[in-house]
Amino acid sequence: MTSIITNTSAMTALQTLKSINSNLASAQNEISTGKTISTAKDNAAIWSITKVMESDVSGIDAIKTALDLGGSSVSVAREATESVVTDLKSMQSLVVQAQAENVDRATLQTQIDNLKATIANYVSSAQFNGLNFLNDSSEDPVNVLAALNRDSSGTVTTSTISINRMSLSYEAPSSATAPANSPAGTEDFQELLDGIIVDDGSGNALDSDTLQYALEFVNKALSYATNVASYYGAKESQISSQSQFMGKLSDAMTTGIGTLVDADMEEASARLTALQTQQQLGIQALSIANQTPQNILALFR
């Protein structure tokens, strides 16, 4: 039966065309945004997951910045300490020379004092963004942000890398006094450098025991500074490794987010072409369906 009131064919063709147009709009949106899920309306569960992951990526990037900043501060401390070690080796050589009898110990002492002043300059300038590990009286360690952790319940916490301050500060005393004892038990870097004296300026030659004490002081200062350099070198390596890991973690999470929401552009392009063809056929089908009632006029001629 053909009805001029109810055109079932046109209704079916119209619904089909609406569905095609909706799919076509979705495909065009994928191509323009590059994402299959760009809003919560597209897929609420996946969209929620990706937003949490995106916030974690932002946090990880911030932590990587903190690690790079902390690593730079530690690197400055290590470089300065290695320079201190180099000058202490030179100082050690001068103290060894002073053990001989026929030497100008006053000149050797001048060279030693110059090296002490240079060490003081190294230590005072070994700061990065105001943080100096070698010239700070505080005993509190510096905590560098190292990781962002999210547990199964969604609770977010951070972890840190603790870095100790190891003082190498030195100020030349107003008057130098030759050491009367060995440096046994002495851990203060200032006291160790103060004990490196081969000529006290009195004009009197120091005895062999006092000169030996000076050698013990410089050797202990060298051992202490070497340990400090090794400590900061190890911490710098730890921070560098953690920073590299956080960078890889950020990349992996970004890739995972892309897997969930990014559009397959080849597939989207093929689907767009097919939908455009379907749209043209749908329009033609609707046009044919709309012409059906007009054919009834032929019955009344």
145: pLDDT strictly greater than 80: yes
- Residue 125, pLDDT > 70, answer yes
For 209-256, write each residue's pLDDT tens digit.
899 999 999 999 999 999 999 999 999 999 999 999 999 999 999 999
Query: What are the start-end ranges of the H helices in 101-154?
Result: 105-125
**pLDDT score for 119:** 96
* Global confidence as pTM: 0.80
pLDDT, position 115? 97
Identify the pLDDT of residue 278. Answer: 85
Cα 202 to Cα 219: distance, rounded to the nearest angstrom: 25
| Mean pLDDT (whole number) for 2-7 | 68
Question: Is the predicted pLDDT of residue 203 greater than 80, yes or no?
Answer: no
Q: Nearest Cα to 51, choosing from 65, 39, 69, 64?
A: 39
In this prediction, residues 96-118 reach a mean pLDDT of: 93
Give me the pLDDT at residue 58, please.
93
Q: Measured between alpha carbons, how far is 118 from 284 in angstroms, rounded to an integer? A: 90
Highest mean pLDDT among 8-17, 54-63, 200-209: 54-63
> What's the rounded Cα separation, in Å, for the pair 13 and 16?
5
DSSP 24-42: HHHHHHHHHHSBS--STTT
The reported pLDDT for the residue numbered 1 is 60
How high does pLDDT run on average in the chain? 88
Of 12-16, 29-33, 92-96, 99-103, where does the model show the most confidence? 92-96
Give the per-residue pLDDT at 4: 65
User: pLDDT > 90: what percent of the chain?
Assistant: 51
Residue 32's pLDDT is 79
Reported as type and span, the H/E element at residue 159 is strand 156-163
Q: What is the pLDDT of residue 2?
A: 64
Position 290 pLDDT exceeds 80: no
The answer, yes or no, to whether residue 73 has pLDDT greater than 80, is: yes
